[in-house]
Amino acid sequence: MADVEIKKLTKSFGTVEVIPEMDLVIPDGSFTVLVGPSGCGKSTLLRMIAGLELQTSGDLSIGGVDVRGRDPSDRGIAMVFQSYALYPHMTVRENISFALRLAKADPAEIEARVQNAADILQLTPLLDRRPKQLSGGQRQRVAIGRAIVRNPEVFLFDEPLSNLDAALRVQMRVEIMELHERLKTTMVYVTHDQVEAMTMADRIVVLNEGRIEQVGSPLELYDTPQTAFVAGFIGSPK
Ligand code: ADP
Ligand code: MG
Reported as type and span, the H/E element at residue 13 is strand 4-13
Q: Within the chain, what is the greatest distance between any pair of CA atoms?
A: 55
User: pLDDT digit of tens for each residue in the chain (238 aa)?
Assistant: 689 999 999 999 999 999 999 999 999 999 999 999 999 999 999 999 999 999 999 999 999 999 999 999 999 999 999 888 899 999 999 999 999 999 899 999 999 999 999 999 999 999 999 999 999 999 999 999 999 999 999 999 999 999 899 989 999 999 999 999 999 999 999 999 999 999 999 999 999 999 999 999 999 999 999 999 999 988 765 4
How confident is the model at residue 122, as a pLDDT? 93
What ipTM does this complex have?
0.98
Q: Is 61 in the pocket of ligand 1 (CB under 6 A)?
A: no
Q: Is 19 in the pocket of ligand 1 (CB under 6 A)?
A: no
Residues ≥6 apart with Cβ < 8 Å to 102: none
Ligand 1 mutation pick, 12, 13, 162, 207, max ligand atoms within 8 A of CB: 13
* Number of residues written out for the chain: 238
- 107 C-alpha to center of ligand 2: Å? 36
- 194 C-alpha to center of ligand 1: Å? 20
